[in-house]
Homo-oligomer: A and B are copies of this chain.
Amino acid sequence: MLSYARIVSSQQSAVDAARAYRNANGPAILAEFVELLALPNVSRNLDDVARVADHIVEMLTARGVEARVVHRAGTAPVIVGHYGVADATTTIGFYAHYDGQPVDQNDWQVEPFKPTLISGALDKGGTEQPLPLGDEGVDPEWRLYARSASDDKAPIIAICAALDAMRDAGVSPSANLLFLFEGEEEIGSPHLPHYLDEMRNELAAADIWMICDGPVHQSRRPQIVFGVRGISEMEITVYGPGRPLHSGHYGNWAPNPNMELAQLLASMKDVAGNVTIEGFYDGTQPITETDEAAVAALPDTDDSLRTELGIGETEDGGTALALRLLLPSLNIRGLDGGGVGDEAANVIPTRSTASIDIRLAPGNDPEVMIDRIENHIRAQGWHVVADEPDTATRRKYARIARVARKAAYPGVRLPTDSPLAKALVAAASVAAGEPVLAVPTFGGSVPLHYFTTVLGAAIAITPFANHDNNQHAANENIRIANLWYGIDLMAALMTMDLPD
């Protein structure tokens, strides 16, 4: 393994080059970005996204990247690019997406595909600045407003600018670079697994994929995020009488499905909020001391969140949110049986349903987690069925639960104590000029596991957009200081020496 000093030293040159280049060429970088942002890119408009893809291939080619569009009929194309480095024995992959969320002009204060420079945040009195810029330079507190300014065309311009800067300064990447930009992320990446599978041999060259997407920490401090959760879903329906019964004539004789469901659900968690289902946490990637230290180093927002949200006590006696996300969760997202309020009727309902989502930590198999819950239901004395039971079946069993299963995909996470994670934090910290936050995982579910399960590579999320970028909403923007940090970050990552 390379020494930390050597790593930092090679990245410092690249970051210095990036800073010098953007100081000298700020208006030109923004001009090229404005040209990219002006191209409409709503995921489902296939003609639009194809045009964006062609444009990006031209941008990459201009930097000496061997880039091409790969297109499966009826889908948004992906862009694949190779940047070979003599004598390099490792490869670093960069993933981004060039498609954006739909726009409703009525909600926007500017035009979403006419990029507009504003002297700050629009909702804090920022005013429009003329484009194109002259030689007077760019204020880092200015913001560029347009759809995908942050999410997720920003990494593409940052990569191009970093390559320009390194070329000008004669700094070479430390590894071969591999680029993969997709055009369907905002509609759930339905074809990404097919593209990955199709190009498996070519893309498997990367030792790690940098997932260039998302914002910095809400404290404004830069962060590297080492994982995402997976997800499974299920719905449990339990049964009462075959037709709604008058609760006077049959109450405390006919079983009440709401009460039986309550008893079943209550058996799944203790009062502290920990899951009591046998084996639920088995196989979960362990929480290490490094994870705990990384979480301890994060700005502590738990208390302010509790106050803002009116939460008396959080689960597990107040354990930090960032640590809780390293475990699988069992969330009853919906309960429904009979009516409440004005819809309440004095009946014993025929059925009661709970809808559940299970967030998966790495090590939790999506099917097995549902199996464990089903086994728990059986262990409580229930007869589990997959289809709507008929009257005879309902007569036969005292307690019947119909379980609808939807196992989606697993989570993935690079251990924070791995040499790769440490190298990433070191590289990003050079770009940030301060120690960046090492976040063990996002709580949300994103199917990044494909990079691991299909391509055999590690992943890390390397975001740089401002946290208040209005991602997915109207008035999306990027703060120039964040874009500058993004260029520096890309340069630092490109010159990272991967540990063996």
Give residues in A with beta carbon < 8 Å to B: 229, 231, 233, 235, 239-243, 245-256, 258-259, 261-263, 265-269, 271, 273, 302, 306-316, 319, 321, 324-325, 327-341, 343-349, 352-355, 357, 359, 389-400, 442-445
Alpha-carbon distance A399/B313, docked complex (angstroms): 8
The 8 closest A-B pairs by CB, nearest first: A310-B394, A248-B444, A266-B266, A258-B332, A334-B338, A310-B391, A313-B398, A251-B329
Asked whether, in the complex, the Cβ of A242 is within 8 Å of the Cβ of B359, the reply is no
Asked whether, in the complex, the Cβ of A333 is within 8 Å of the Cβ of B347, the reply is yes
Asked whether, in the complex, the Cβ of A255 is within 8 Å of the Cβ of B308, the reply is no
Query: 16 additional contacts, CB 8 Å, given A247-B357, A336-B339?
Result: A233-B344, A240-B311, A248-B445, A251-B357, A253-B324, A259-B268, A263-B265, A310-B391, A311-B394, A331-B346, A333-B344, A335-B335, A336-B336, A338-B355, A340-B353, A344-B355
Measured CB to CB, the closest approach of chain B to A387, in angstroms, equals 15
- What residues of B have a CB within 8 angstroms of the CB of A251 in the complex? 329, 331, 357, 359, 443
Alpha-carbon distance A273/B262, docked complex (angstroms): 12
- Each complex incorporates copies of this chain amounting to 2
Asked whether, in the complex, the Cβ of A310 is within 8 Å of the Cβ of B395, the reply is yes
Asked whether, in the complex, the Cβ of A321 is within 8 Å of the Cβ of B253, the reply is yes
- A243 interface neighbour in B266, B302, B309, Cβ under 8 Å: B309
Alpha-carbon distance A393/B21, docked complex (angstroms): 54
Asked whether, in the complex, the Cβ of B335 is within 8 Å of the Cβ of A241, the reply is no
Asked whether, in the complex, the Cβ of B255 is within 8 Å of the Cβ of A315, the reply is yes
Q: Nearest B residue to A272 by beta-carbon distance?
A: B255
Alpha-carbon distance A344/B333, docked complex (angstroms): 7
Asked whether, in the complex, the Cβ of B252 is within 8 Å of the Cβ of A315, the reply is yes
- What residues of B have a CB within 8 angstroms of the CB of A255 in the complex? 273, 311-315
Asked whether, in the complex, the Cβ of B355 is within 8 Å of the Cβ of A335, the reply is no
- A-B contacts, 20 of them at CB < 8 A, read A229-B248, A235-B340, A241-B310, A248-B359, A251-B331, A251-B443, A254-B311, A258-B332, A258-B335, A258-B354, A263-B265, A309-B391, A312-B396, A332-B338, A333-B347, A334-B337, A334-B344, A335-B337, A336-B339, A339-B355
Asked whether, in the complex, the Cβ of B262 is within 8 Å of the Cβ of A266, the reply is yes
- Tell me whether A349 and B329 are in contact in the complex, defined as CB-CB below 8 angstroms, given that A242-B310, A253-B321, A254-B314 are known contacts: no
Asked whether, in the complex, the Cβ of A443 is within 8 Å of the Cβ of B250, the reply is yes
- Tell me whether A253 and B315 are in contact in the complex, defined as CB-CB below 8 angstroms, given that A333-B339, A340-B336 are known contacts: yes
Measured CB to CB, the closest approach of chain B to A106, in angstroms, equals 24
Q: Nearest B residue to A380 by beta-carbon distance?
A: B271
Measured CB to CB, the closest approach of chain B to A499, in angstroms, equals 30
- What residues of B have a CB within 8 angstroms of the CB of A266 in the complex? 259, 262-263, 265-267
Asked whether, in the complex, the Cβ of B333 is within 8 Å of the Cβ of A239, the reply is no
Asked whether, in the complex, the Cβ of B332 is within 8 Å of the Cβ of A343, the reply is no
Alpha-carbon distance A102/B167, docked complex (angstroms): 88
- A444 interface neighbour in B246, B309, B325, Cβ under 8 Å: B246
Measured CB to CB, the closest approach of chain B to A308, in angstroms, equals 7
Measured CB to CB, the closest approach of chain B to A395, in angstroms, equals 5
- A252 interface neighbour in B329, B344, B349, B352, Cβ under 8 Å: B329
